[in-house]
Structure 1
């Protein structure tokens, strides 16, 4: 399987990259893994047509493997690597100025910016590969892989100069002369064409074979052997190959995928095996397994994306298997614990039953040991006493198997005296401080505790199992979301607005806010379009895009009017309103003298054509994309349906009165007179700006009270001053009057 670019692939991909990327600016850089990086480009346009929306391209580069544009949505690391941050720092918002292949080797030079502010990305696709970031003088700023070659004095490290112009380091001359062909033949014993010339021809064996088959009209290469008489033929072959390469450098190439069919588990699966920029003649025998694409970039994108999908699928299956193993291990652990507790219940129950069935024997053994301890026998003496009694076949001592006096207990071998076949004899630990019945009760209590533990274990384990299962499923779901590669959907220009496609196939758009209302009228309202607005303050601007030279049908006008009314205050108030439409030339942004038009507001000059009241009804639909073959069938079906409807209408016209044809221009509620041409209406669109609601806190209340008190005190002071001034003026007036009387 072919899994990396060769020299010919690089030659074929560069013309398409130049056409689509030169002049675009870097929007952002992402890393998929430690070798694969995504560079998102944007190209803002200066035109105002709806079709020239901002174009976005994503370039994917993988060290040592490939470089191409991708239409798939690749998973990105949430935390960018250090190398990614370095690329963002030096490349963001810079324009891509040039894409060149260094000499004839598998090395690409991408120049971002110009002059002293330029930066270069050098992508190496040979050996282990590398990605190198340099400045305008090719001084290395950062790199993926350190490399040193003492023979050519090459050192890929920071502050070293990248060997762009170093002679002999890269493949430079690709042409093979007649003398070189002769030297290759005479100096080698190999006579197989591919093995002999493949090391000397940098464009690959497929192109050599194709050229040889075209020049010599051979149908197969299986029996062809090189001889000394083939010099002229081989010279023509290599010249023909060079001419094909020169054509590839000048124009875009189509892409081809070689598909291999494999059968796994009674299922046949198509696997992409190779990608090529040329339909080679030797592929005529496998034409059924050859897929053709409109461009080489498209073929490469599909090839590597499918490979990555297969890797992700296998990784996902592996994660699922590990998750299933975890759940099974958890379940087994839970079952083993329950089984252990259940066995303990049975054992405790058996021990208690054995004690009850041998109650006198157990009590006698307890009394003997208590008596020995009470008489202050040492533990060793008690053990010797029990041993002597066992030798004399004492029925009590013979049942004692072990003394555990340090634990104040001993072990007895008990069996069921009433049914010796029911179970085997069992060792039972007896507590000396307790009676036989008390020892039996102790085992019954242990059994009850074990029953409770089993129930608790079952309840807790079931809940824990559900939690673990839920957590694992959530992790698998998150991993599947993060690692799934899907074809990225291209956002059409009208999808950022409110939009729908009318019954007659017209696109109708409406603004989501005042800024979009402004944008719709200024940028997207063309000559033949119709502007629709609800007869209510603050409604959205609605534009019907007319892709024909004719008039907009009344049904589309009604549907657009319905949209305008529903996206207005009528929807919240649940009060129906009417709408009107005008031509695009009636919409102006120039305000009358002394007035101001805010963002999203416009002035309508002339007659407004009112449309009847609209119902507050909205719906939604699912838009399916069909292939070209289905499109042709649907178009043919639609034409047949329209023809049948016309024939049906003609048949009905013969049996009915003739219809009166009325133009929609006359279907308006507003009367038309001479003054309507001079009417001026200011339309305010978009939602009104809502005032922020201030929360009145306790501090605000206290502050307000203090402020009112200060104001009252100021008023009191002012009143006192005014009163004092009045009193002083009164005294002065009285004094003046007194002086006047005395003077008189």
Structure 2
């Protein structure tokens, strides 16, 4: 039996009932993995930390998970996740509804500044749409443009056409739907009544009606029993009468004998999970759970382990270096994410402290008002009421107060859009010092994390060294038998590998735009004015070449003669082929592409012709530079970008001129100027790449749409062969 990978409409009806117990939870953060897995980290007053997963890819599910089972946070949140964090941070979970009897869940979150809805489509290709309170789409994982419905940012979200809800259907409508069928009973329940195959069979079994009975042979008695079975199912779902079950199969011993102790086989593989026991599953081993969402958590956890497990030769004693490397890399990713978080938190605390000093008079007025009131024994509730009255009269200090918490003696004010909690008994300076102290404490945590990450990197380097030694030993053993023919050994077929090992080694230049030419020269370009400035000031050395488009709005492009760690030299001759590829890179990531043009003019100069010192009376903007002397022009340089996946020596996304990228990647996709925004084009390329690899999880780990987007030019793009 194939394991269930998508939740049914009955499953979702049960989940809606259980999700109601989490109402009032506050959202802390949102995470997006690849283009199909959303995670919401929330806090519940009674339960503490709550983790909600919504997946709309190969698996389609929505349930809470145990904190220890949540996937590691991505190192860099994509735009979709950042948008959700901005809208949901501090919001209350107001509830969830199922759209009629369809596989659509609508999660509602409330905050003072408005309502946000997360609509999860757990059918077909799957989708997640984020809307405001009026159902205007803010963003979505997939844009939908069909005759029947449209789901695109800026439009009103359109639900699919309504389907019959069998849980609320009247007896008259039930009879009509059954009579209108031209097939057997079970197929009628599955299609006309929308129950699907499993629950159609279950209802027939519970009602004692033959599944294969032709609908014309079914009479009033069969209709009565079936309608009663449906009614009992609906009552159980409405009242939460659940007895969740996780079903397993398998476990036969290799020699065909039964288990030694109790004469039964030990089931090894999960195949289904349901909100209550099913008579259709009595032949399977079952495990009970207290809640359906806990059962789903365990089911999909075990299913993922089962999917990722591989058959291994028990005689193979090779250490699993790749697993150790992947584990350490995950730890490094987590540590880097923590460091980035510490930096942001520390900076936020410093900014809040500076806001207090920048608005000293306003803050002092608020604190003095509270302190005088407390000296007069005015209750906190009355103080809050006075601030509310002051808001109505338009008093500036009162308007800045957003919360008064008498139990903690905290008054929260809003200044320039930032909420700053103030200890009411302290003055402005003391409150600011407290924020600076907190920023310092967080910065110290960052230093500790930096030390920890260095230790982890050293451990990773040691594992990689031992792996290389082991592989070298294996190569020597094979060479003893036959040293010839190594050159004819076929290349590894990465696309058909069942499990591609992940090998990362992030380089200093990867935060810029970059690629290696066909002659293995590094080309780097700025993503913005700050990076353009940095490239010219810090990384431009003797022997390098600088390229720029005649069109305004292009990156500073540096064709490196040497690595910054090597001695620079003007004696290195850079081939014309590398210069041409660097020129194509410069024009592709400029406004030429953004304007929808297919070619532009590029000039090339030596590094010593570039200066940050303007001529007398002139001014250089940030990112700008002065060029002195003759320029070499490459007219009508064609745009051209390919994005692909490199598997050796490292696994990563690469992008740039097709002639350079296609030699280094195992598979690539060419793009050209088009109508799809960077985010949408990134998703389309991601799906194409994932389809080409047998190990789809590998693509998801190293080539998320967000990473692919970093290699796409500004403006619209399309896949060249679409």
Specify if TM > 0.5: no
**Structure whose residues are more often helix by fraction:** 1
Rg larger in 1 or in 2? Answer: 1
